[in-house]
Chain A
Amino acid sequence: MRCSRVGEPTTRWRSRLAAFAPVDSTARVDAVVRRLTDAIALGLLADGEQLPSEAELAAQLGVSTVTLREALMALRQQGMVETRRGRGGGSFVRVPEHAPSLTDRLRGLTAEELRDLGDHYAAIAGAAARLAAQRALPEDLAPLRRTLEEMAATGDEAHLRRLHGRFHIEVAAVSQSARLTQEEIRLQADIGPLLWLAHTGEHGPSAQHRAIAEAVHRGDGDRARDLAERHVLEAVEHLIELRLREP
């Protein structure tokens, strides 16, 4: 084991220094780029959609207009935003024909990182599903059923992917926990598009989705948690196998 030289901060101390460092503007620009890229990948922002004015968007994201402009410039370079001048001008979302591919992103993660992301996501999804089953009122099931029906009816893959995300956020919301719901939304932004790789070729809602809704409906917290955890872990396992096949 290598010892640290005199005067060199230990790794632990270094990581603390990093934690206390002011969030620099580069990190903010990256965060904004990531947010908007994920929103486009998840289909929350659609092709051709006009973004709010720079001032309005900066205020919503809680960043300065300078930071926002830098982020927009980066997105323009990636071809994900187009800015038109003059009357009817503004910034518009562009979904590129070949968006940065998910397999590229998968290659950027190790199997260990994927496992850890999966563990975290399974814990959140499981806890949310258990509380949802304990706290659900009959009318709370209506949005879940509607989403399952829409999943069954759609033939469009992008739409199906959005509905997948919506289903899990709706389950989390039934838990009555704002924090668990926020965490579900955040984790979906982190790993959701990747998990979709594990679902390729699926049509409509899976038996797992229906079973989760059914367990919540019956108030069976243990079963809801088991199902929700398994739903995440099986997909992550599949994803790790895909990753290990890559060089």
Chain B
Amino acid sequence: MKPFNPERRDFLKKSALSAGSALVLGITWSGEIVAEADATPEFKPNAWLKIDTHGLVTLYIAESEMGQGPFTSLSMLIAEELEVDWQKVQVEHAPLDPAYGFQGTGGSRSVRRNWKTLRQAGAVARQMLLAAGAEYLKAPVDSCQAQRSRITHRPSSKSVSYAELVGRAAEMPVPKGVTLKQPEDFKLIGTPITRLDLADKLNGKARYGIDTKLPNMVYATIAQSPVFGGRVKSFNDTEIKQRPGIIDCFALEEGVVVVAQGTWQAFQARKALKIDWQGGKTGQLNSDNIIQRLSDETAQKPTLILERGEPIAQLASALKSVDTEYRLPFQAHMTPEPMNCTVGVEDGRYRIWAPTQSPTSAMTTAVKTLKALMPELSEAELEARIEIVTPLLGGGFGRRIKQDYVTQAVKIAHHLKRPVQLIWPREEDVQHDHYHPLTQHRLRGSLDEAGNPQAWHHLITGLQSGKYGADALAYDIPHVRVELLRLDSPVPIGPWRSVSNHYNAYAIEHFFDELARAGGKNPLELRLKLLKEARLKAVLQRAAEATAWHQQDQQRILGCAVHSSFGSHVAEIVELIRLDEQKLKLGKITCVIDCGVAINPDTVKAQLEGSVIYALGAALKPPIMLKNGRVEQHNFHDTPILSFKETPPIEVIISRSRLDPGGVGEPGVPPLAPALANALLSAHGKPVTRMPMNLNGAS
């Protein structure tokens, strides 16, 4: 798919929102589609924005808003160059359209990949408004300036609003080669601004996928095999269909579907299902044996990720060495909004409300699903019959990159031939997540005579585990080998906030402290000595100052960790307070980030606070456990997330920078668990080889 070029008049290809004005597709809160002929002209120079004759600026954001703030931060990029009055900006999810390229939100990429494009989109529009304004004011363009939604002729101070220029600007040629502002000239970027999606999140008006209501809509839910890959053999459909409010009950490849007049009736009927399952891929597997079993079954060998020097020879002849193994468990996403998808069906056309991190993947998935059901139609014909609508997402964290709920909802709608909303109960969500993988880390390291790390060997073994976060060791150690044994997984695995950086940074950063202690070194000072990246060193230095690192004692114990990921550099320091000889409690957590230019500093701060809390929950709370091939947990009572009272004070410090922006949604996650483990190592003298951690030493 070709990327958007803001210097072309690149209108939407598919949506009725296309060129000029003519037709505006509105979706009311009740989900009805209202097509209204709109006679008033608009200025819509590209796929990202339009200005109407009231001066209202509508921005179309092609990244999914799931709380991480792209509605606001990406709007700021456009508005910075458009010189628009922020009070007149409103924002919507962009429709699915090739003009936006691949529409998928993940990898903390939203700002990075839109950084230039969106500023250019705003600058192009501003130049066209300037040309129109100069013409209107009968003045040379270079004596005019754009500011707060007006074009002003500087010498005379005469001005005209964007609203008045809408028709004229649309006639102007699209400029080539616009010049973007230098960072020192930014007016919006870098200022904490009120988020555009907040007002409706305080009054119940915000519409998430699960809030979609269509005329004559029915509610469906599903029961999937507790053992992964199991299939329905038989079930009590006759009994279920006799229940009040039940419209249908049938089996899909994925499980048994119940359709009812209301969500609750569907959920109750699901509980009454008696399903005989057969087969499945995981029946003999437990969290404790899965790595061993899968390693034994496969002939897979580790892949070499990184090697320098002679690590194996050095380790064999080492004077002093450390050998350890960490095992980190499966984790669930626990998005607050459970998986759901709503499909409107009319005359063979499908309109799909998918709270997804990737509308493009939702389309691909829907086409593939319908193709299997209607092989007589070509993929292009099917795509033309499908529209993807992206409502707000009640959390994502990587879970909504997967499209299983879209596949199921499309199948169900095709079966019923009527509008339907599929909602997974929480229990289904916990037992059929695409989990953060279980991983095991064997680490061996040796020290030279002076106690400095000399050799480093890290073998990562895990279910579809990844190398990122371990593929470029941040430390200047002479002999290094990093290997990855990525096992094929019968348990669904997916991206989870910070993906492989989470477990790899844990292994590296906790083992670094084990080595530093074995060599009699202060782990923070040793990091400052061996870190190769100046920006990472700088954030650690800053964190050390903010926490008075050198003023630790028996009552106040600190642990630090650093990690670079998604283009940003983060240091975190966890403080433990000793209550008595046995008991410790969490003190303050300090987090310093260098993310280049911080577009909306308040959002950066919020994302870092959220990342710390997310990672702290994973470190301290019971994880997902596999037993006899099934997930043992069911809901928030046995898969708890961190609560309000368990959250310690968190200080976030953002380094000032004019460098191009890095990601902010995920980089705060990886350093937290190792920083906490390092504080515990300091307190108890024992490494933390398993999660969840126990503050009082029995881990």
Asked if chains A and B come from one complex, the reply is no
Question: B residues touching A (Cβ–Cβ < 8 Å)?
Answer: none
User: Footprint of B on A, CB under 8 Å?
Assistant: none
